[in-house]
Structure 1
Amino acid sequence: METSINQFRSFLSNAWSKAGFSEFTSVQAKAIPTMLEKKDMMVESPPGTGKTLAYLLPIFQLLIEGGKNPQAVIIAPTKELAMQIHEEAQKFLKDSEFSSASFIGGADLKRQLEKLKKHPQIIIGTPHRLVELIELRKLKMHEVKTIVLDEADQLIGSGSTKEIDRIIQSTMKDRQVVAFSATIPQSTIDQLEKRMNQPEKLTVETSLELKEKIKHLYIVCERREKIDYLRKLLYTEPDMKAIAFINDSFHLEALAEKMKYKKISAGILYSQSTQAEREATIKKFRLGKYQLLLATDVAARGLDIEAITHVIHLDLPEAIEQFVHRSGRTGRMGATGTVVSIVTPGEEQGLLQFNRRLNLGLEKVTLYRGQLTDEKPTYQERKKTPAPQSRPKKKVAHKKNK
């Protein structure tokens, strides 16, 4: 069944046009019809392909007018992702009678309870906070018809299955459960199948056009040289807006101090930050006050910031799924982007394995005179200057002795 935006409610088609979109992306074209048929589904699609609207649009289309209880619940693994989904939902519900609300850990509980008094039809939140509201009997789930697990592999892998089960069990038996992620490994599929009813599996491959818009480069150096290479890399493009990933949050603050010492403005994004700190960091990065955002995988999962030009793997992740999610922060929704991996000789083989499996078109480069190049100019290519000629010696006249 083919679907176009013109078949949706007028407030949705109008918001779609205002956002500057034209046709559905591949994942939207495949997922929306199944969502509208109210079937359970797992969707695997690369980062930046429009997965959020692939589930939001059909949910909004099926909302019942006049309803004062929640009709759909969207579960996100991180506070940032939940807030991002909420912002996108607000844009599309702006000219309708419907509303959404976000419920995240770390936020003031009393304020969040006040949100429920406004009767939002769409609930977006992190697992623990949603369960907390259900246990307090403040979040009414008896009219919820759709549950979305966004970044499903992280939700399942992070030990949130008990919370997810509690949320699902609090809804009607004929509810729809859908899962979206850039990567859904077999272990996640096994867990999801236990919580779904004969789910359809949709996989959207990265198109050739999308692959061509994201350039994958790598630099080989010693571990002690990585920070200096990061600094030099940032100087190659004055307008660079980059996210650099490291594996251990323990080193983030020390790394930020080194960047500050080298006069590079860098923000930190890691899970131990307070909600206010995280929001302030992301805001400054969006406004261009930070050229660089230093982040861990958990903190930046699902993060969608416009115009990120570069993703830098300062540490190579252990799993290929992490590499895909990190790299997906650039080149979103058809934009161009560059992914640079700064690896040690020992890490190079692991990166090349990722390249073989993902068919990235990886290119080895080096930094020479402030530019990325695949070949360092040889000595012979440098402009030769002739050696200065020695002046002829003056003859000294000797007096004869009388």
Structure 2
Amino acid sequence: MKLELPELQAYWEKLDYQEPSAIQEKVYEPLKNGTDVVGISPTGTGKTVAYTLPILAKTTIKGGLQTIIITPSQELAVQVAAVVKEWGKEVGLTVQPLIGGASIKRQLEKLKQKPEIIVGTAGRILEITEMKKLKLHQVATVILDEADQLLQQEQLATVRKVVAKIPNNPQMGFFSATSNELMKDLPKWFNVEPEWIDATDEDTSAGKVLHAYIETPNRKRTEMLKRLTQITDFRGLVFINNVANLVTVAEKLSYEGVSVAVLHGEKYKTERQHALQQFRNGKVKLLLTTDVASRGLDIQGLPYVIQYDIPVTKESYIHRSGRTARMGKAGTVLTLVNERDMREFKKVIAPLELELTRLYLFGGELVDQRPETVKDEVPEIAKLKSKTKEKEKNNEAPKKETKTEVVQPIVKKKKKKKDQKNKGARKKKKE
């Protein structure tokens, strides 16, 4: 893939990018030429750059707002905006994020810079448009990032309202790691007949993922998280299915002295950004999150994704596992299960045909054999078992028996008068 703008090509080489990923190669020409596109590719394969480069190639400097990129979450909008800004700066284009939770007054002030590209959440973009502070008449391209999420009922209506405010039929791009039944209704919702580009089977740019599990009773899962943090260079993004349980687990871990941060939709924007920054900087070892809050997050070099709760759908598993092993680096997706969970978990991921590895946490390391069978590979185990047996033997040594003498209380007998002795017996005899 040869980039037409020399500034972009030079920056590509400066970043030491080698061959483009399959999705980057396949969508470049269609997007640059104005074709409506659905782009499906595994997480961590460079989808943001895939749609950014062709958009920049056809954007006119000082030509007003020409592209809107919509994301399902504030965190993803900030992340995408950072990537687009990074590349846009090379060709002199202005990019502005518009997200809920941030100061709308400040955003309105920045709009005076007349950005060519806006990245944001549908709700905030619609709000500012209805205030007549954002004009969409020159918009030529709309990109939906994490499209399968944006097409869910709670977001679809808002997204459609934004698109409906664009006078001309804009070019549409729909990007996601997974496709679902909702994607089939794109012609009905947006009046488009997009070209489908699915690079799932061809894209090898994602790193190797170890899909593994540890059998853990529900009551021991918080303790297991604590023990996992003792692994060398450990950092884990932990998925919990509901906010209430997430908060409870976070409180228990904090009480135990474990460095932990939380990321969920009920937190303020600044709190979520702070949690993410702490995790990215390695100041906390665990970041507890829900599926919604972590959608599309890019955390470089993340070694572990931990599923405290099993995912509800295979799509959820795909997106969760996509947080690790990004752009060629290896990673582990570790699921905590009990016997019942395991049955449900296998049903959910059966269509993915994954090879699951059972792991054990022993001696501060994850091993793929039971501790009793790894003593040859880990010499410390034999020594530990020997000490344990010796201790048990000492504890079981017979103790010297000591007899305990029971002292009975002295009871003084009452002296009876002579005429009272055996009075009851005499009375009975008379009768």
Same fold flag (TM > 0.5): yes
1:298 aligns to 2:292 (yes or no):
yes
How far apart are the structure 2 equivalents of 1:137 and 1:168?
Answer: 15
Secondary structure class of the residue paired with 1:17: helix
Contact 1:246 1:296 survives alignment (8 Å): yes
1:161 maps onto 2:159 in alignment? no
Q: 1:256 to 1:73 in 2, by over 3 A?
A: same
Distance 1:241 1:172 in 2: 47
| Displacement of 1:371 | 2.4
Q: Is the 8 A contact 2:37 2:195 kept in 1?
A: yes
State the alpha-carbon separation in 2 of the partners of residues 349 and 276 from structure 1: 39
How many residues align structurally? 382
Partner residue, 1:245? 239
2: CA distance between counterparts of 1:366 and 1:122? 49
Distance, in Å, in 1 between the alignment partners of 2:143 and 2:336 is: 36
Question: Does the 8 Å CA contact 2:41/2:203 hold for their aligned counterparts?
Answer: no
Conserved 8 A contact 1:177-1:196: no
Matched with 2:110 is 115
| Number of the residue aligned with 1:288 | 282
1:88-112 superposed Cα distances (whole Å, 9 cap, x missing partner):
0111122322110000011111101
Contact (CA 8 Å) 1:286, 1:305: kept in 2 or not?
Answer: yes
Q: 2:262 aligns with which of 256, 265, 268?
A: 268
Instruction: Find the residue that maps to 2:334 and give its secondary structure.
Output: strand
Deviation at 1:45, TM superposition (A): 1.1
Q: For 1:176 and 1:89, locate their aligned partners in 2 and report how far apart those are by CA, in whole Å.
A: 18
**Paired residue for 1:201?**
196
Residue 59 of structure 2 aligns with which residue?
Answer: 63
Any conservation in 2 of the 1:242–1:292 contact (CA below 8 Å)? yes
Cα distance, 1:125 vs structure 2: 0.7
**Secondary structure at the residue paired with 2:19?**
coil
Corresponding residue to 1:225 among 220, 225, 247: 220
Query: Contact 1:46/1:206 (CA < 8 Å) preserved in 2?
Result: no
| Bigger radius of gyration | 2
Match of 1:356 in 2: 350
| RMSD over aligned Cα atoms | 2.2
In the alignment, the residues of structure 1 paired with residue 284 and residue 24 of structure 2 have an alpha-carbon distance, to the nearest angstrom, of 33
Distance of 1:29 and 1:39 partners within structure 2 = 15
Any idea what the Cα deviations from partners look like across 1:216-247, whole Å, max 9, x if unmatched?
Answer: 11011211111122222222x22112100000
Corresponding residue to 1:256 among 250, 254, 264: 250
Match of 1:147 in 2: 142
Once the two structures are TM-superposed, the CA of residue 202 in structure 1 deviates from its matched residue by 1.4
SS at match of 2:13: helix
Q: Which position in structure 1 is the counterpart of 2:307?
A: 313
CA distance in 1, matches of 2:77, 2:253: 30
> Any conservation in 2 of the 1:157–1:188 contact (CA below 8 Å)?
no
Q: In the alignment, what sits opposite 1:134?
A: 129
Change in CA separation of 1:385 and 1:352 when aligned onto 2, cut-off 3 Å? closer
- Structure 2 gaps of 5+ residues are 376-381, 391-431
Q: TM-score, normalising length from structure 2?
A: 0.84
- Name which of 160, 168, 174 aligns with 1:179: 174
SS in 1 for 2:154: coil
Is it true that 1:36 corresponds to 2:29 in the alignment?
no
Contact kept? 1:367, 1:373, Cα under 8 Å: yes
| Alignment-derived partner of residue 397 in structure 2 | none
Q: Please give the alpha-carbon distance, in whole angstroms, between the structure 2 residues aligned to 1:198 and 1:209.
A: 28
Distance 1:208 1:81, change over 3 A: closer
Shift of the 20–158 alpha-carbon distance from structure 1 to 2, 3 Å rule, reads farther
Alignment of 1:66-77 (within 5 A): 66-67=62-63, 69-77=64-72
Offset of residue 273 of structure 1? 0.8
The separation in 1 between residues aligned to 2:167 and 2:347, in whole angstroms, is 45
User: In structure 2, the residue corresponding to 1:334 is in which secondary structure?
Assistant: coil
CA contact (8 A) 2:236 2:304 kept: yes
Determine the structure 2 residue equivalent to 1:328. Answer: 322
| Structure 1 residues 161 and 385: alpha-carbon distance in aligned structure 2, compared to 1, 3 A threshold | closer
In structure 2, distance between residues paired with 1:137 and 1:324: 39
Judge conservation of contact 1:71–1:121 (CA < 8 Å) in 2.
yes
Alignment of 1:358-373 (within 5 A): 358-373=352-367
CA distance in 1, matches of 2:203, 2:81: 31
Percent of aligned pairs with the same amino acid = 35
Bigger shift: residues 184-193 or 69-78:
184-193
Could you tell me which residue of structure 1 aligns to residue 90 of structure 2?
Answer: 95
CA distance in 1, matches of 2:205, 2:3: 27
**1:15-61 residue CA offsets vs partner (Å, 9 max, x unmatched):** 22232212210111111121112111111111111100111111100
CA distance in 1, matches of 2:317, 2:191: 28
**TM-score, scaled to structure 1:** 0.90
Q: 5+ unaligned residues in a row in structure 1: which ranges?
A: 389-402
